[in-house]
A and B are shown apart, each in its own frame.
Chain A
Amino acid sequence: MCMLSTKATCNSHGQDSSYFLGWQEYEKNPFHEVNNTNGIIQMGLAENQLCFDILKSWLAKNPDAAGFKRNGESIFGELALFQDYHGIPEFKKALAEFMSEIRGNKVSFDPNHLVLAAGATSANETLMFCLAEPGEAFLLPTPYYPGFDRDLKWRTGVEIVPIQCTSSNGFQITETALQEAYQEAQKRNLRVKGVLVTNPSNPLGTTMTRNELNMLVSFVEDKGIHLVSDEIYSGTAFSTPSFVSVMEILKERECDENGSDVWNRVHVVYSLSKDLGLPGFRVGAIYSNDDRVVSAATKMSSFGLVSSQTQYLLAAMLSDKKLTKNYISENHKRLRQRQKKLVSGLQKAGISCLKGNAGLFCWVDMRHLLRSNTFEAEMELWKKIVYEVRLNISPGSSCHCTEPGWFRVCFANMSEDTLDLALQRLKAFVTEYYNIPEVNGHHQTIHLNHSRRRSLTKWVFRLSFDDRSPIPGR
């Protein structure tokens, strides 16, 4: 007799995927600037560590918030008892305003439509519980964040059907791909309840175009389904084109309550883990115009409320408009500089990236370094990079990318020196393994150009995009 539940004994938690295995390898031999300079450098963790100084300096100047005081009086007891799942009103107000500020105040958010959750992990799961029955499906564009397999499917029983995106157009979502995904779901007898997109995209590091967003809204309007927009990276859009939220699109299309039904079917997920760099605090939120979704999600938030002391601290922080204004612009600046550093460092190693303008990572093109245009070759390359180059990066297959050879490489979770070291290691690896001669101090990008074959001891081919390798079920 099986003693545990099916959920406990299956693999739907997704932690056997390479995304998490890389982390495990890192844990065994983590790089340290002083104590373990030969260790694995963590580049698989999308964290924002660039602006803590700004937060710390604010804390030093705001002893009341820091010490759980109001006007010098301790409110510890009040906070310790506060367990209302509606959240601390000042916090939700500040959070709603912050979300608005990130969107250039082009849209506003009603705090009463904001539901708190224990991180975006919990927010996404809760939304699935509210919007879909077990066995129903959401369409997601690939590549997507590996954690979605756990967050959206594991305990909810909801299915994910991929919307296949390719490098031919920078992985943008096309009308064709949307329709194909929808039909694929029907073929599999899955009722589609909605589309879930991440904007800015993880792992692509790009913002969605107005075109894509309008197309998505039209699509869900037509099909009468939901659209969930995970906008947790909205504050990391550091260069043009600027970030456009789906809420802006709805406003432009005048989809408010008196307009289209679709108004109630678009929901936004937010979190402070990426924009503010506070993943440990577990601050997530769901925003919905549908009162019933707000009501149900609020009740469900009992399973993962935000600690009241954290709400209090962040309420004070986010209500300080001077801080938020400075933080947002400084954050953009530092992310932009850091990304530039990574991109140019990769270029020196003959490696290019998808042109990105947001996020805490680059979507790196290492297809030319694959032995063959297969996921097996991608895994081989990945293992070399983890074990020999000692960089933990995330292979595209773990993000359900349809084309082998893409990797997500994070740049905001380490010091500049560490990033330099990582780039040095990568360059050395490419030089050694691929024997690429340096021309004018730069490595040449490897093409299927036989005139340069001179000392290619390894097998570097770049096959056309149409060559699909057999991918086992992903």
Chain B
Amino acid sequence: MGFTLSNQQQLLSKIATGNGHGENTPYFDGWKAFDSNPYHPTANPQGVIQMGLAENQLSFDLIQEWVLKNPEASICTAQGAKEFKDIAIFQDYHGLPEFRNAVANFMGKVRGNRVTFDPDRIVMSGGATGAHEMIAFCLADPGEAFLVPVPYYPGFDRDLRWRTGVQLLPVACESSNNFKITRAALEDAYEKAQKANIRVKGLLITNPSNPLGTVLDRETLKSLVTFINEKNIHLVSDEIYAATVFTQPRFISIAEILEEEEVECNRDLVHIVYSLSKDMGFPGFRVGIVYSYNDAVVNCARKMSSFGLVSTQTQHLIASMLSDNEFVDRFIVESAKRLKARHTRFTVGLEEQGTTCLKSNGGLFVWMDLHKHLKEQTFEAEMALWRTIIHQVKLNVSPGVSFHCPEPGWFRVCFANMDDQTMEVALERIRNFVLQDKDAVVAIKKKSCWQSNKKLSLSFKSFNFRILDEVSMSPHSPIPQSPLVRAT
């Protein structure tokens, strides 16, 4: 008989049985190490401190206070229960109007009210994770590609590629110019795609950047807009860290660039991904947003949002909270203040030990430069160092290679997901490690350090991009096997 399934392997789809979910990468492996031995100040002081999770836990007291003062925002309390039924049955994928209005209002405030957002262009999704997958489904067919500047958030490999069949192609960025996105690199990536017969459908940027913690300057943003218009491709700007920018230079949204007079842009090409997971610290509530200037995309995305709508219970709460202007204004300022204080304490504490980070002004993490501690400037050495940091220093940090960083030695270290005390413990552990590490380079001037780094990275350049090329063509992770997978 023609199509009986005699082979057990074919019972499930390739998507289900393959590795496209990306969870066998070191980014997720670190989490596993933490899960099996989590730090606790009293119960497990020798445990692994989680510094691989970009969460914003610094301002919950403000939110908790608001929630207690506003019981009607919950549909379950005595004060809010009269809304229970209407909210519980509301499944319109347009979302509650008050929710969209409140989110549009919040997005505008986060951008200093320099731009306003149209609530009718706001589409819900299952977190930014769902938003990215959805925008990929709307903009590209299987086999088509998005360009993404490296280093980038590892989850993109899953979110944009796994079930969509879309590819991600790297745009080279280097530490020598602080990982700036250059026109040359964009053109280069685009040409590579052309040569490989891959149709590029868009450019994906994260601004503020994960993992760099930096913002894009006006010139760069304008050049990106020029680039996508010339090539007639989409621009997806992931702005989920918008409100985490705590000091100058200020955050400039792509929405602002569009409003500038001298900028010519086909608005149908521009889309923003947003979420409340980082700015508000609400990852559990799964509030993802796709904001598109393209009507057809809004239309299509809205239909697709059926697969990941925001719970109306949550919509109702958020609508209430984010339309409280006094609270929002206060929260934005206070949250930024606390992030700045934490960032400063952390980076100063690191510098005292001779550990440097990329100069950053946003995000919930630092991009730490540990190349001095590598036995050799290779990714294998980076993985070895990472294993040491996890198992001996007992910190879960994320190795740069999992972010497709072209140069070894960089690590993303999160600082906003713990209390002050835990952070001091973490600093202490790093200090001890640095002092003990035999290969640590002592008192090398930053300039020569950068120069030798540059030389090494140039000589590895072709090698690195070859790896990235292979990676981008296949759905598998850049590391054939993470050390933890082998260990388990």
Contact = CB atoms under 8 A, between A and B. Distances in A.
Contact of A296 (B21, B201, B311): B21
A381 interface: no
19 contacts: A3-B268, A13-B300, A63-B77, A68-B67, A83-B284, A122-B307, A130-B13, A130-B16, A155-B163, A193-B5, A224-B4, A280-B90, A281-B313, A282-B91, A292-B12, A303-B159, A306-B286, A308-B286, A313-B313
A56 B78 CA distance: 9
A426 to B, nearest CB: 24
A131 B234 CA distance: 32
B4 A66 contact: no
Interface in B135-188: 137-141, 144, 158-159, 163
B13 A131 contact: yes
In order of increasing CB-CB distance, the 6 nearest A-B pairs are A280-B312, A308-B284, A66-B76, A307-B311, A296-B16, A304-B308
Contact of B89 (A56, A191, A280, A310): A280
A37 B81 CA distance: 27
Interface stretch (B40-48, B56-64, B349-357): B56-64
Contacts of B320: none
Given A131-B12, A307-B286, A280 B74 contact: no
B339 interface: no
Contacts of B85: 49, 52, 56
Nearest to A187: B2
Contacts of A131: 11-13, 16
Interface in A165-189: 185-186
Nearest to A272: B88
Interface residues on chain B, size class: 35 or more
B91 A77 contact: no
Nearest to A225: B5
B14 interface: yes
A132 to B, nearest CB: 6
A60 B78 contact: yes
Contacts of A8: 137-139, 296-297, 300
A282 B309 contact: yes
B74 A66 contact: yes
A5 interface: yes
A11 to B, nearest CB: 11
Contacts of A390: none
B63 A76 contact: yes
B307 A67 contact: no
Contacts, number: 240
Interface stretch (B124-132, B215-223, B322-330): B124-132
Contacts of A118: 126, 286, 307-309
Interface in A73-131: 74, 76-77, 79-83, 118-119, 121-122, 125, 129-131
Contacts of A151: 306-307
Contacts of A65: 76
A7 interface: yes
Nearest to B417: A81
A287 to B, nearest CB: 16
Interface in A275-333: 277-282, 290, 292-293, 296-297, 299-300, 302-310, 313
A3 B268 CA distance: 9
A129 B163 contact: yes
Given A282-B310, A297-B16, 16 more contacts: A76-B64, A80-B285, A81-B55, A122-B308, A154-B304, A185-B3, A223-B5, A279-B88, A292-B12, A292-B16, A296-B17, A302-B127, A303-B133, A304-B308, A309-B284, A309-B311
Interface string B287-323: 0000000001100100110111111111001000000
Given A4-B300, A302-B129, A304-B130, A280 B311 contact: yes
B448 interface: no
B308 A265 contact: no
A110 B343 CA distance: 44
Nearest to A78: B284
Contacts of B129: 302-303
B87 A307 contact: no
A188 to B, nearest CB: 11
Given A65-B76, A81-B283, A129-B15, A280 B313 contact: yes
Contacts of B317: 309
A306 B89 CA distance: 16
B235 to A, nearest CB: 12
A361 B176 CA distance: 67
Interface in B6-65: 6, 11-17, 21, 23, 55, 57, 60, 63-64
B483 interface: no
B314 A74 contact: no
A167 to B, nearest CB: 31
B419 to A, nearest CB: 12
A132 B74 contact: no
B71 interface: yes
Interface string A24-63: 0000000000000000000000010100100110011001
A5 B138 contact: yes
Contacts of A1: 232
B433 interface: no
A56 B234 contact: no
B281 interface: yes
B331 interface: no
B76 A67 contact: yes
B71 to A, nearest CB: 7
B444 interface: no
A413 B85 CA distance: 12
A133 interface: yes
A352 to B, nearest CB: 30
Contacts of A154: 304
Contact of A280 (B91, B284, B286): B91
